[in-house]
Chains A and B, each alone.
Chain A
Amino acid sequence: MVSTSSTPEPPRHPMTGNRMDAGSDTGFETHEYDVVVIGAGGAGLRAAIAAHDAGARVAVVCKSLLGKAHTVMAEGGIAAAMGNVYDEDGWRVHFRDTMRGGKMLNNWRMAQLHAQEAPDRVLELEEWGALFDRTPDGLISQRDFGGHKYARLAHVGDRTGLEMIRTLQQRAVSLGIDVFMECTVTEIFTDRPKGARPRVSGAFAYWRETGRFVVFRSPSVVLATGGIGKSYQVTSNSWEYTGDGHALALRAGASLINMEFVQFHPTGMVWPPSVRGILVTESVRGDGGVLKNSEGERFMFDYIPEFFRSETADTVEEAEGWYTDKKNHRRPPELLPRDEVARAINAEIKAGRGSPHGGVFLDIASRRDADFIRRRLPSMYHQFKELADVDITAEPMEVGPTCHYVMGGVEVDADTEESRVEGLYAAGEVAGGMHGSNRLGGNSLSDLLVFGRRAGHNAAYHAQRVNVRRPDLPDDEVRAAADRALAPFEEEGGENPYTIQKDLQDVMQRLVGIIRKAEELADSLDEIERLKDRAKRLTVEGHRQYNPGWHLALDLTNMLVVSECIAKAALEREESRGGHTRDDYPKPDPEWGARNLVLTLPGDALDSAVHLAHQPLPVMPDELRALFEETGAS
């Protein structure tokens, strides 16, 4: 992108090299758009394409280079009931699986739209050049994954996310959509007319390369910033996952729901330490891999919960039969939803039956031939070979739970993806509701496409509607945003942001992890409060040009407020459900099953305390409810 401002050489701080005139209007480059999409993963790119198609002028802003967002790492596949492998499959079955996987806490309307629209969204990718693996009769092949009744995941080996992001990226580039890469948004501007909803007026960002500021004037903003995993020590998530979108939404006046539900993927690498947390795709289990403890026992049979008993095989014979004949066998327990498998692994390790490096064994070597493994799971083969010296065609992998995905996110209207703030939309991992208390594998990539597109369209329509009277963006707000961003350079002798990040990760891992209890959650809130205090005095070395220390200092405030939301909601919800397990309340409670916890930030400063409220879950219409009653499994 080309900078549009030209100014004479400005005064600079003698030590830091910072511009000292950060408050003056000449210091910013300003851009005007109909829709600004924050995030260039699957959700952001799909939203941008949709907004462009609806006639809007669109900018995409992202923290990394284009094509490097988290979506690139997704492995297993995109869930869509296309019925290419099992023609019994259809949106109703997918809808039912999704709701049951989320322990019925999902926003039913989102789950419905998702199941209905996913097949078209996948076909669209093919239209734009994606090359999925094929069935023998030339259709898009679909693979098995946990919690999905039929083989349903469209995939490309185990690099589906790469195919998806590349396809969307190439589409966006060919449409000529403006992309601001390595540009981080730190504020959403809102205009708050008296008595009315706040409404979006733009966004504030800095170029990572130069540290210079960018102001976007725009009546519609789509948040597509992904998740929060970097607040945990062991995670499959990258540095980008600092919960920026969640925090931006809170500050702008929007609300978050389901924040207590964090998904720990059952299979992350555990050894060597440097790769701890890196994901081992669920496809390993879908393609025949099984979990064993140190005694060689296939332990998942001991952990089949009542809720899934009727559809899970309870003998090895039946489970084995399933891989080839799904009609007459129930699914192997290794393919239960992720929360169940993660808890089981956790329990085995606690009981002293773990592997040498504190995981359990995931074995596909003794079950499938080497060629099959290399063909179906090429990047897993590569990953273990290169990083752990393990040949997965010859020996079992060691795996353990890793923080993977946040079900919670911005509360949006199911059909339009608009938040409580007018003109502010959210889609993808940053949005809440769709997955309830637990997400099924493969349902994220499809979520990105379905709701990315809806958010993009609606953001464009909104911009069109307000075209004549665009919201104001006063200069003093812009100046204040710049001052806040530069604050870490002002402090001397303060805290190192890397140290605080590490301490936060330790608190979240220890006290707000897979298994939670009241005292620990209460402690975590105190700890987070102390960290927030320390984070008020951060010191950053060097100058504004490509300075990761500074970038982290700014991300840290977001990580802290989002962690507070998670801990606070986790303490409040006195039951166990999906991605939230309470040692002191081990059972699901029907009362809680009808309730969402909603978080807001009453003061708009990031260090003010978050506010929590209860809200009834939207009630499913009878014709959908009947889908659960037919099978007696509500």
Chain B
Amino acid sequence: MAYDLKMRVWRGDSRGGDLTDYTVSVEEGEVVLDAIHRLQATQAGDLAVRWNCKAGKCGSCSAEINGRPRLMCMTRLADFHQAETITVTPMRTFPVIRDLVTDVSFNYEKAEQLPSFAPGPPDADGKRRMMQSDVERGQEFRKCIECFLCQDVCHVVRDHEENKPAFAGPRFFLRYAELDMHPLDTNDRRALAQGAAGLGMCNITKCCTEVCPENIKITDNAIIPMKERVVDRKYDPVVWLGSKIFRRDRREEV
């Protein structure tokens, strides 16, 4: 069943911009990205948006839908009232290039700073042996599709440009943790964790985990174990809880 959807889409570039109102005809079963594509094909040929797979696999179509960081291709219109206006804005933590497209080069710069994987020698037959149970944790982290929604939502850099140089962000804490837990990696574990730029600035609000479309337990499974590694002791859950509640409050204002 087709109906007319009201949308507000942020249009503009680095010099500024505005929410623009559109009405677009949509169908049952469609997602926000379909609506954006129809706008592009019929009303706004130059509307800038990134996408590739349209199936939640590539992490290109990240944006904020009614203020919440999400993948446009995995956000179904059926989750909203037909009468509701859907507002789509670019990720706020990264500078806008145009419309819904942001400059995410911050993430690629951080990626360059990571140590590379350094395996020991293989077995005599040239193969390497690892048990499934030992690779599973790393595999969870490697599900990351680099949508950068976790980077977008993290309050350490959201609206805090000044923290960016020192802070790798949740996506890259995952990478450090992944190396740490790789059964074959020979990098120094403690040094890895200490080198994980800005890990100390994270106060475990779990906002990153909440937005991750791959449902990776970024905080529990990667960040907390890495923090433990740095201080070389078990993490204190009371301190952890306190900071979480504080940050949650802050987040409501954002």
Pair from one complex: yes
Contact B112 A131 (CB under 8 A): no
A632 at the interface (CB under 8 A from B): no
- A546 in contact with B101 (CB, 8 Å): yes
- Tell me, yes or no, whether A139 is within 8 Å of chain B by CB: yes
Flag A253-287 by CB within 8 Å of B: 1 or 0 each: 00000000000000000011111001100000000
Question: Given contacts A541-B45, A545-B98, is CB(A129)–CB(B117) below 8 Å?
Answer: yes
> Which parts of B33-90 form the interface with A (CB within 8 Å)?
34, 40-42, 44-60, 74, 76
From A132, A133, A171, A541, contact of B46 by CB (8 A): A541
Interface residues of B in 199-219 (CB under 8 A from A): none
B46 in contact with A383 (CB, 8 Å):
no
Using a Cβ–Cβ cut-off of 8 Å, how many residues does chain B contribute to the interface with A? 60
Check A548/B13 contact, CB under 8 A, given A72-B58, A131-B142.
no
**Proximity string of chain B (165-201) to chain A, C-beta cutoff 8 Å, 1 when within and 0 when not:** 0000000000000000010010000000000000000
Report the separation of the CA atoms of residues A59 and B210 in the bound assembly, to the nearest whole angstrom.
37
Which one, A3-11, A158-166, A440-448, A465-473, is touching chain B? Answer: A158-166
A624 at the interface (CB under 8 A from B): no
User: A127 on the interface (CB 8 Å rule)?
Assistant: yes
Q: How far apart sit A514 and B195, CA to CA, in the bound complex (Å)?
A: 55
B54-A238 in contact (CB<8A): yes
- Which residues from chain B contact A388 at a C-beta distance below 8 Å? 29
Known A-B contacts A72-B57, A274-B29; A131 and B51 likewise in contact (beta carbons under 8 Å):
no
Q: Which bucket holds chain A's interface residue count?
A: 35 or more
Identify A548's interface contact among B46, B117, B144, CB under 8 A: B46
Is B139's CB within 8 Å of the partner chain A?
Answer: yes
Whether B97 and A73, one on each chain, are in contact in the complex, defined by CB atoms closer than 8 angstroms, is: no
Question: Which of A166, A271, A273, A379 is in CB contact (< 8 Å) with B142?
Answer: A166
- How far is it, in angstroms, between the C-alpha of A68 and the C-alpha of B97 when the chains are bound? 18
Is A633 at the interface (CB under 8 A from chain B)? no
A447–B129 alpha-carbon span in the complex (Å): 25
How far is the CB of B187 from the nearest CB of chain A, in Å?
11
When the two chains form their complex, are residues A240 and B52 in contact, meaning their CB atoms are under 8 A apart?
yes
Q: Would you give the shortest CB distance from B240 to chain A, in whole angstroms?
A: 29
A134 located at the interface, meaning its Cβ lies under 8 Å from any Cβ of chain B in the complex: yes
Given contacts A126-B128, A133-B132, contact A387 B55 (CB under 8 A): yes
Per-residue CB proximity of B112-128 to A under 8 Å, as 1/0?
10101101001000111
Contact B52 A131 (CB under 8 A): no
Q: Which residues from chain A contact B130 at a C-beta distance below 8 Å? A: 131, 134, 138
Task: Tell me which residues across on chain A come within 8 A of B103, comparing CB atoms.
Answer: 209
Chain B residue nearest to A75 (CB atoms) is B57
Tell me if A549 and B13 are in contact (CB < 8 A). Answer: no
Given contacts A541-B45, A542-B46, contact A239 B51 (CB under 8 A): yes
Known: A129-B117, A238-B53, A278-B55. 20 other contacts (CB 8 A): A67-B59, A123-B128, A127-B119, A162-B143, A173-B112, A209-B98, A209-B103, A238-B51, A238-B54, A238-B58, A271-B29, A272-B29, A273-B27, A274-B30, A386-B76, A387-B31, A541-B44, A546-B48, A546-B97, A547-B46
| A-B contacts, 29 listed (Cβ < 8 Å) | A64-B50, A64-B52, A65-B60, A72-B145, A73-B52, A123-B127, A127-B119, A131-B139, A131-B142, A134-B132, A134-B135, A139-B127, A139-B129, A159-B57, A162-B57, A166-B144, A209-B97, A238-B53, A238-B58, A239-B51, A239-B52, A240-B52, A273-B29, A387-B74, A498-B42, A498-B45, A540-B46, A542-B45, A546-B98
**Which residues of B does A touch, CB under 8 Å?**
13, 27-31, 34, 40-42, 44-60, 74, 76, 97-99, 101, 103-104, 108, 111-112, 114, 116-117, 119, 122, 126-132, 135, 138-139, 142-146, 182, 185
